[in-house]
Amino acid sequence: MRAIASQADFLTALARILPAGAILARREDTAPYECDGLTAYRESPLCVVLPDTRAQIEAILKLCHAQGVPIVARGAGTGLSGGALPHPRGVSLSLAKFNRILKVDPLGCTAVVESGVRNLAISEAAAQFGLYYAPDPSSQLACTIGGNVAENAGGVHCLKYGLTVHNVLGVTGFMANGESIEFGSAALDAAGLDLLSTVVGSEGMLAIATEVTVRLIPLPQVARCIMASYADVESAGAAVASIIASGIIPAGLELMDKRMTAAAEAFVQAGYDLEAAAILLCESDGTEIEVEEEIGRMIAVLRESGATQIEVSTSEVQRLRFWSGRKNAFPASGGISPDYMCMDSTIPRKRLAQMLRAIEGMEQKYGLGCVNVFHAGDGNLHPLILYDASDPEQRRRCELFGADILETSVRMGGTVTGEHGVGVEKLNSMCVQFSGAEREQFMRLKAAFDPAGLLNPGKVIPSLQRCAEYGKMHVHHGMLPFPELPRF
């Protein structure tokens, strides 16, 4: 911190910008902001601010910039990698009051919304025009579009409709120094380098978003979902590859293993086959005639790949029931274990079965259970490691288990995070996926946007020192230090 005299002086300066009640500085008031969806990491911020105008945000950023105070932007706090974990000397900037839908353009199929608008609220506002916003992370009821932009959020339908980056046209906001900035435009491209693509998924490290222009797409006339059971995970994994190889891009293609199915069934009674080693949910959407044709082709491929039971939804109620278990997989896991840690790596689809077997081995090795739910169509894994956070020993083993999954994913040609972001959780794993030169390039990129390094410091890109220490720790635990990982 450069010029700051004291916390009290800083809060006094903030009070000139914001009304009373929009600044939370007492420990009991900031407690709800100590963590995001990754509750294992907690930190108390210097203060939390809740601005509701752009002018206030600009003034807050300028004040912080002048005094060298870190800024951590925050939406609904549903992130799963600790991206919104407060900085002990920083301001947590809540965008909760930026919750207005500014415009829905039914003709141009776009909407302009403030960054604190909830994901699902966009689709609800667009529904009257027969349109919706496609990316649908499981937390869509609560998570905000600003958070989705920060994490490049996906969801169960992104196989066909893309991630946040494919569905956002523009982002308006501020640079770290309080300068107003616009990335992208209302057109399909913008002049110059594609800064919009860089800002999407940058986890609050490059800029603060206040408004987002999203692309809306016509609601499909009909959607139907197939639930297919498999007697072993290998054939379920092979079925996923066969579907894609046959030229079909399903609207959703998800895999759950037996224990996940049991937990979800107990939680929401979705009607899952509890005898199956794995079940696939495979969805088709479009016009009546398209869906009928595609469902037929899907069933043929699933049968051929050894499905033991196939059920096709015949009503919207039934389709939503099939999905209810999948969408509640995380809370359902909370019902079978005191705590769980959700991993998020992505691997080539053909490795799914191999990965499930590897995870079984790790359960033995680390003495902890793991239930599996995958965005199988994209190869995006969400193994949920079950543990008790109140037991430090279990917590330690859980972290090693998680790191093992991530590093196995990198060895299989994948990545340590598919949609949840690096945050603080996967900093060590970034040392494994990227070389020192690549990480330094990331840091220089960050400096081009935020030379003072005030936006979300300490997240996403690990320091060289941290990686050096992590390398030593690996040797200490008797694992490979991975000096020559296959690059991809």
Judged by CB under 8 A, the chain residues 153 through 172 that form the site for another protein are: 154, 158-159, 162-163, 165-166
Asked whether position 102 contacts another protein by CB under 8 A, the answer is no
Piece of 86-94, 179-187, 257-265, 364-372 that binds another protein (CB under 8 A): 179-187
Q: Which one of residues 1, 127, 249, 468 is an interface residue with another protein (CB under 8 A)?
A: 249
Piece of 91-99, 114-122, 183-191, 384-392 that binds another protein (CB under 8 A): 183-191
Compute the least distance from the CB of residue 39 to another protein, in Å: 21
Asked whether position 118 contacts another protein by CB under 8 A, the answer is no
Q: Which one of residues 1, 11, 15, 447 is an interface residue with another protein (CB under 8 A)?
A: 447
Compute the least distance from the CB of residue 170 to another protein, in Å: 10
166/259 with CB nearer another protein: 166
Cβ-proximal residues to 136 (8 Å cutoff; 6+ apart), any chain? 119, 120, 155, 156, 157, 158
Q: Which one of residues 293, 304, 391, 393 is an interface residue with another protein (CB under 8 A)?
A: 293
Compute the least distance from the CB of residue 64 to another protein, in Å: 18
* Contact yes or no for 40/80 (Cβ under 8 A): no
- Sheet of 222-230: strand order equals 309-312, 222-230, 278-286, 252-257, 370-375, 380-387, 339-342
141/448 with CB nearer another protein: 448
Q: How many residues of this chain interact with another protein, rule: CB under 8 A?
A: 98
* Secondary structure in 3-state letters for the chain: CCCCCCHHHHHHHHHCCCCCCCEECCHHHHHHHCCCCCCCCCCCCCEEECCCCHHHHHHHHHHHHHHCCCEEEECCCCCCCCCCCCCCCCEEEECCCCCCEEEEECCCCEEEEECCCEHHHHHHHHHHHCEECCCCCCCCCCCEHHHHHHHCCCCCCHHHHCCHHHHEEEEEEECCCCCEEEEECCCCCCCCCCHHHHHCCCCCCCCEEEEEEEECEECCCEEEEEEEEECCHHHHHHHHHHHHHCCCCCCEEEEEEHHHHHHHHHHHCCCCCCCCCEEEEEEEEECHHHHHHHHHHHHHHHHHCCCCEEEECCCHHHHHHHHHHHHCHHHHHHCCCCEEEECCCECCHHHHHHHHHHHHHHHHHHCCCEEEEEEHHHCEEEEEEEECCCCHHHHHHHHHHHHHHHHHHHHCCCECCCCCCCCCCCHHHHHHHCCHHHHHHHHHHHHHHCCCCCECCCCCCCCHHHHHHHHHHHHHCCCCCCCCCCCC
* Contact yes or no for 124/219 (Cβ under 8 A): no
Compute the least distance from the CB of residue 190 to another protein, in Å: 6
Q: Which one of residues 2, 444, 476, 477 is an interface residue with another protein (CB under 8 A)?
A: 444
Asked whether position 478 contacts another protein by CB under 8 A, the answer is no
Asked whether position 3 contacts another protein by CB under 8 A, the answer is no
* Contact yes or no for 110/131 (Cβ under 8 A): no
210/380 with CB nearer another protein: 380
Site track 414-443 with another protein (rule: CB under 8 A), x = hit? xxxxxxxxx---x---x--xxx-xxx-xx-
Piece of 43-51, 147-155, 303-311, 326-334 that binds another protein (CB under 8 A): 147-155
Main-chain dihedrals φ then ψ at residue 210, nearest 5 degrees = -115, -30
Piece of 32-40, 52-60, 200-208, 326-334 that binds another protein (CB under 8 A): 200-208
24/209 with CB nearer another protein: 209
26/444 with CB nearer another protein: 444
Compute the least distance from the CB of residue 166 to another protein, in Å: 5
Q: Which one of residues 198, 308, 324, 354 is an interface residue with another protein (CB under 8 A)?
A: 198
53, 169, 170, 345, 448 from 190: Cα distances, Å: 26, 9, 9, 32, 19
Asked whether position 348 contacts another protein by CB under 8 A, the answer is yes
Q: Which one of residues 37, 82, 137, 201 is an interface residue with another protein (CB under 8 A)?
A: 201
HSE-up of 25 (CA within 13 Å, CB side)? 14
116/421 with CB nearer another protein: 421
273/378 with CB nearer another protein: 378
Compute the least distance from the CB of residue 400 to another protein, in Å: 20
Give the footprint of another protein on residues 17-56 (CB under 8 A). none
Compute the least distance from the CB of residue 6 to another protein, in Å: 32
Compute the least distance from the CB of residue 428 to another protein, in Å: 12
Q: Which one of residues 350, 395, 397, 411 is an interface residue with another protein (CB under 8 A)?
A: 350
Site track 316-345 with another protein (rule: CB under 8 A), x = hit? ------------------------------
121/240 with CB nearer another protein: 240
24/467 with CB nearer another protein: 467
64/158 with CB nearer another protein: 158
